[in-house]
Amino acid sequence: MSDHEQQLQVRQGRKKGGLITMPFIIANEAFEKVSSYGLLPNMILYLMQEYGMGLAGGTHVLFLWSAATNFMPVVGAFIADSYLGRFLAISLGSIISLLGMILIWLTAMIPKLRAPPCAGCKPASQAQLGVLYTSYALMSVGAGGIRSCSPGFGADQLDKRDDDSSNKRLLESYFSWYYAAASAAVLVSLTGIVYIQDHLGWKIGFAVPAALMFVSASLFLIASPLYVKYDVSTNLFSSFAHVIVASCTKWKVPFPSQSTGDKYYHHDKGSTHLVPTNKLRFLNKACIIRSHDEEVASDGSAVNPWRTCTVDQVEQLKSLIRIIPMWSTSIMMSVNSSQSTFQLVQAEAMDKHITRSFEIPAGSFNTFLVITMIVWLPIYDRGIIPVASKIYGKPVRLGVKLRMGIGLFFCGLSMVVAGVVEHVRRGRAIETMLLNNNTSEPVITMSAMWLIPQYVLQGVGEAFNVVGQLEFYYSEFPTSMASLAAALYWLGMAVANLLASGILSVVDDVTSKNGRTSWVTSDVNAARLDSYYWVLAALGFANVAYFVVCSFFYGPCSREVVKNEESKIEQDMSFEGRVVRRD
């Protein structure tokens, strides 16, 4: 069944889907995030205390786990869009993730699954580590199924794909609230779950995430009759390969004339695409028909899919290739948001007290970024946009690419502010040390509350960009590729982790040459974190310019093109009507 037939079937009798499904879908991923993110902060302590790992070894394990978790949504998206469908992928992901959480809870409950507690005993055995790593693998695989499909599956319940302004507004509101709920889940995990582990121990601290995941998976499956479920219409793995091979095989075949083109392009029955678009035109040869008798079977299918593809297949591959440059612009934003280690060192060197008796832990300042996103998204969605619409007397909506660009600008600005604050802090600390002739004691001369503005700017930037990303990918990809759309966000985070590590290594190597002190040395007063932040800011603003270029060459979004064409048709019909009445 083609995308067009699926959409028509849903629209003709839309008894399923709608807002009633949102709590089950959003809660499912929110609970998964509470569970997985809640396990991560203290996991290094668990590995050191219960498995005898060193700091470096444990950190390496957690890095690999995080990288795998961020990469698995890409694998999950291809499997969902090619074989399982989004509902089944989320269901299996929830169950697999639950099994992983139960397994890691069992490692806390059963002493034989951990290293001996005595000092000087042997570290964990290979079998014990095997159980631990299996739990990590299950949670990563489960997260891949949930995170890659939940955004698109939720949008499927709301999106009619027949496009009007109210439908666009509904999708924008959905992605905003979706990301706000995900951010709230991260906040809960970084506070509530971590608190439980610190005060009630590992047994209860691991049992709570498992219990939450069980409730989440159960509710999602119970609501199964309410969902709109699109069938898998194509195998993306083989489809992309078919297009590439067919276009290369036919590279000498001439293009048909525009007047007869639809007769010489192979397309599915009922497809909205009769001829391919002119963008990335070299791929169009994959769907050219040289001989109907030799290349098209009696049922309308291709005799050899490696030589003749459909227009829909060609357009699917085009949509992926065209989006890659736009996707790459958001990597730098994730690089800037991954600097929490240095920000923690900053906070440790500052006065963290709110009152005389209460201070904010240095590791908790990152929650200001999450809080900003949670607060800003409802304000924007339910405050700024409605007020602006009343002022202008018509619906106001910022374009999806504009929101992505605004987000990148705010993220670059946050690094400028971070550099300024660190420059002032470091200057005051060095001045105080020189006056007191004391370099051994820590010098605290500035309130850590000055770190909040950079977190706020970063939070607003991520709120604009990430929500824009999700809506952009979902809108530009065909329905059959919606899971891959969500996975691109997680792939960007995985690439950003590697890029951030590379930037840090380059800065460390360059600035430490000839015996000089590195900008990123562990001594925060001897380091030059301000200069490091300004390097990131420069890269961030260069990325904004790169985004503008990519946006220009990408052209208007697909739905903007549809809207413009519909407006022209309405104008033509209106003009013809006036001519008829005049006659």
Tens digit of each residue's pLDDT (9 = 90 or more) over 347-387:
878 888 888 777 787 767 878 888 888 888 788 877 887 88
What residue segments make up the domains of the chain, in order of their start?
A: 15-233, 236-309, 319-573
Residue 241 has pLDDT above 80, yes or no: yes
**What pLDDT, on the 0 to 100 scale, is given for residue 12?**
40
Q: What is the distance between the alpha carbons of residues 518 and 459, in angstroms, rounded to a whole number?
A: 29
* Greater pLDDT, 421 or 498: 421
Residue 548 has pLDDT above 80, yes or no: yes
Instruction: Please write the tens of the pLDDT for every residue from 22-51.
Output: 888 888 878 877 877 778 777 878 887 888
Q: What is the distance between the alpha carbons of residues 329 and 320, in angstroms, rounded to a whole number?
A: 15
**What pLDDT, on the 0 to 100 scale, is given for residue 378?**
80
* Greater pLDDT, 454 or 312: 454
**What pLDDT, on the 0 to 100 scale, is given for residue 13?**
41
Q: What tokens were used for 317?
A: 């591959």
How many other C-beta atoms can be found within 10 angstroms of the C-beta atom of residue 155? 24
Domains 15-233 and 319-573 share a fold: yes
Instruction: Give the CATH H-level superfamily of domain 15-233.
Output: MFS general substrate transporter like domains (1.20.1250.20)
Residue 550 has pLDDT above 90, yes or no: yes
Cα angle 349, 451, 66; round to 5:
85
Residue 573 has pLDDT above 60, yes or no: no
Q: How confident is the model at residue 405 (pLDDT cuts 50, 70, 90)?
A: very high
Residue 562 has pLDDT above 60, yes or no: no
Q: What is the largest CA-CA distance in the chain?
A: 101
Cα angle 21, 22, 28; round to 5:
100
Residue 100 has pLDDT above 80, yes or no: yes
* CATH number assigned to the domain covering 319-573: 1.20.1250.20
* Greater pLDDT, 194 or 540: 540
Q: What is the distance between the alpha carbons of residues 158 and 153, in angstroms, rounded to a whole number?
A: 9
Instruction: Please write the tens of the pLDDT for every residue from 141-196.
Output: 998 888 888 877 887 787 654 445 555 667 767 777 777 777 788 888 777 887 78
Residue 542 has pLDDT above 80, yes or no: yes
The alpha carbon torsion through 502, 506, 508, 513 (nearest 10 deg) reads 160
Tell me the average pLDDT across 207-228.
Answer: 88
**What pLDDT, on the 0 to 100 scale, is given for residue 56?**
57
Tell me the average pLDDT across 243-261.
Answer: 81
**What pLDDT, on the 0 to 100 scale, is given for residue 181?**
79
Q: How confident is the model at residue 574 (pLDDT cuts 50, 70, 90)?
A: very low
User: How confident is the prediction for the chain on average, in pLDDT?
Assistant: 80
Residue 105 has pLDDT above 90, yes or no: yes
Q: How confident is the model at residue 74 (pLDDT cuts 50, 70, 90)?
A: confident
Residue 63: partners with Cβ closer than 8 Å, 6 or more residues away: none
